[in-house]
Amino acid sequence: MKILIDIGHPAHVHFFKGTIKNLSGKGHEILIVTRNKEMTVDLLKKYEFDYINIGEHQTSMAGKACALLQFDYRILQVAKKFRPDLLVALGSPYLAHVSKMIRKPYISFWDTEDANLIIRLTSPFTDTICTPSCFLRDFGERQVRFEGYKELAYLHPEEFQPDISVLDELNLTVDDRFIIVRFISWAASHDVGLQGIKNPVEVVKTLEKYGRVFISSEKPPAPEFEKYLLHISPEKFHSLLAYASLYIGEGGTITTEAAVLGTPAIHIEANSKGEATGNSSGNFLEIRDKYGLMYFFPDQDAALKKAVQILENTDSKQEWQQKRARLLADKINVSAWMTDFISEYPESCQKHMTRRDHKK
């Protein structure tokens, strides 16, 4: 089978990398389309995946609107030449549109309930929607739920073990305490109307009392943060995150990554009403309420208070590892599940529907 995959973000590379390798090993032919977005192309090169770069990632809403038809057209030309049997992505409107133009099925993986614009642009053209079991929205018969989170496609223990050598690169030992802080660009379509950390200086100054602070940032940082910037190869980031004493920041995906790795995780983000956006995310609610692995707040004051509480507990990392073990006992290797679901499609979808009907 020939499979076209759209990868529009570095996190998508991680999400699909195990599945791509598995599907290729089964004899399927994979082609990736991508755009210049942060370290996406660098990661694709690192993993030696075949890809076609169709242009620059757009940050403004006007730019995204103009690029929609442009990227649709470019991917359509790629698809006509490649002639895929199946199209797969993580919420890509471009592949959704192209799938209907070439009359081939499209599988979309989703985990962001409030990405309303993308859902409106994508849902009418999507054949199958795969979501975590805790996903709060219902898409009817097209929806297939799995017992996991997208981050467990690449951070499940069967897929990932942290590389301790990353500590040597940063002059750290396993006994050193350090904190990772994340600033995002707020340029994604689902970031409109949201806000996060208001006083980053206060955040950094408060946290560095408890350990070394590293900053990961989508946007160019202020000059005073240069000495905190994280300089490691992108594929080593998750290893560093696994050894961290705490993660705190605006990045929702990294918050979940930290949690499933057993690192205390705190997310800071509010909607236009001043409410924590985590309340509208099924995986955030489940990871907080069922497993106690993360916290989320609408403002940095409450978040910093919780961060200090965690850092002052010298047993916090050990406690989080125990919580992680409980989570992993309940969840699956998502990459292995995706491999089977895609390679056996559409029979896999029909089997799921049959099981769901039996449960009713």
165-330 has which fold?
A: Rossmann fold (3.40.50)
**What pLDDT does residue 251 have?**
80
Q: How confident is the model at residue 57 (pLDDT cuts 50, 70, 90)?
A: low
Q: What are the boundaries of each domain within the chain?
A: 2-156+332-352, 165-330
8 Å CB contact between 134 and 283: yes
- Residues 292, 304: Cα–Cα separation, whole Å: 17
2-156+332-352 has which fold?
A: Rossmann fold (3.40.50)
8 Å CB contact between 148 and 337: yes
Segment 25-52 shows an average pLDDT of 93
In DSSP terms, which residues pair with 145 in a beta bridge?
131
pTM: 0.91
In DSSP terms, which residues pair with 109 in a beta bridge?
130
Tell me whether the CATH fold assigned to 2-156+332-352 matches the one assigned to 165-330: yes
Q: Between residues 236 and 234, which one has the greater pLDDT?
A: 236
Q: Between residues 3 and 197, which one has the greater pLDDT?
A: 3
**What pLDDT does residue 222 have?**
82
- What residues contact residue 248 under an 8 Å CB cut-off, 6+ apart? 179, 180, 181, 182, 203, 207, 265, 266, 267, 268, 303, 307
In DSSP terms, which residues pair with 178 in a beta bridge?
212
Q: Is 59 left (phi over 0), alpha (psi -120 to 50) or beta?
A: alpha
